[in-house]
Amino acid sequence: MINAVQKIADILKEHQIEDAKLEARMMLASVLNIDENNLFFTCPEPNAEQKKQLEELVAKRINHYPLCKLLGKKGFYKYDFVVSEDVLSPRPDTEILVEAAIAYAKKMNAQKILDLGTGSGCIILSILGDVEKLKGIALDSSEKAIAIAKQNAQHLGLENRIKFIHGSWFDEEIVSSLGNDFDIIVSNPPYIPSQDIEHLEEEVKNHDPLSALDGGIDGMDHYRKIAAISYQMLKEKGYVFLEGGIGQEKQIAQIFEKEGFVLENILKDYGGINRCIILKK
């Protein structure tokens, strides 16, 4: 079986796929329907049908179809999340925001959290999973994304602690329906400047929803709106946790400071990029 992994890895590597061996293992485990960690212990030979499936996976992958969307799931923080082309692929960089929000939620004994642009739900569901009494509301402008997030809530047994709302933060009626008693607001909004989208890697620009990437001319459109609506939705001394793009942290902080927030902290992701901006009401 190690040979099967190696064979797939070699093809992936020829096509400049990083982490070729890991991806090959994940593909094989998925097709054989066994846990990747058990690959070395139980290793049935792929049958003809499974070999065909593997060939199809490899063919799509070398055309830069993202692995997680081929396999339909992505590991993020502590869980596997269902993903599709209707949601942004969860990124390890975002785990930093999740860890910070969990620590704050526990310390301040938070009761209620809002996620603006929930996508797969990976952020808010990871937080709810670790903070027992917390309840959440998750907003997304994509109905298809909400369907995926609901599946994830159910898989994690969190469906009774979260309410999903379909709509946009540019819609005043929707915003006023969310309420104004949140302890914490989290968001990983679209932040790529429109003209930079064509330069993103193919996995991203062709397979993440454009609506989850495009932040307008300067990438700040959604932060401006979120800053304008979130102050009144938060309780006194509430916090906002935002993800930002490379080099955007100061501009994001300023946009929120203008609305009355105080910068609490900026956290780096695993790659050393200033990724998570924390602001206090």
Residue nearest to ligand GLN (CB): 191
Part of the chain binding ligand GLN (CB under 6 A), chosen from 21-29, 125-133, 169-177, 183-191: 183-191
Part of the chain binding ligand GLN (CB under 6 A), chosen from 27-35, 142-150, 182-190, 228-236: 182-190
Contact 207, 135 (CB under 8 A): no
* Contacting residue, 108, 147, 204, 228, with ligand GLN by CB under 6 A: 204
Task: List Cα–Cα distances, 52 to 4, 59, 176, in angstroms.
Answer: 13, 11, 52
Q: Decide whether 39 or 223 has the Cβ nearer to ligand GLN.
A: 223
Q: Does residue 191 belong to the site contacting ligand GLN (CB under 6 A)? A: yes
Q: Where are the alpha helices (DSSP H) in the chain?
A: 2-14, 20-32, 48-62, 67-71, 95-107, 122-130, 143-155, 172-178, 202-205, 221-233, 249-258
| DSSP-based three-state secondary structure for 157 | coil
Contact 270, 90 (CB under 8 A): no
Residue window 213-232: x/- pattern of binding to ligand GLN, with contact defined by CB under 6 A? x-------------------
The Cα 245–Cα 131 span in angstroms is: 27
Q: Does residue 253 belong to the site contacting ligand GLN (CB under 6 A)? A: no
* Contacting residue, 71, 114, 162, 192, with ligand GLN by CB under 6 A: 192
Residue window 73-112: x/- pattern of binding to ligand GLN, with contact defined by CB under 6 A? ---------------x--x---------------------
DSSP state letters, 108-127: TT--EEEEES-TTSHHHHHH
Residues in the chain: 281
Q: Does residue 188 belong to the site contacting ligand GLN (CB under 6 A)? A: yes
Q: Decide whether 77 or 191 has the Cβ nearer to ligand GLN.
A: 191
Q: Decide whether 8 or 243 has the Cβ nearer to ligand GLN.
A: 243
Structure tokens given for 6: 């190696």
* Contacting residue, 190, 274, 275, 278, with ligand GLN by CB under 6 A: 190
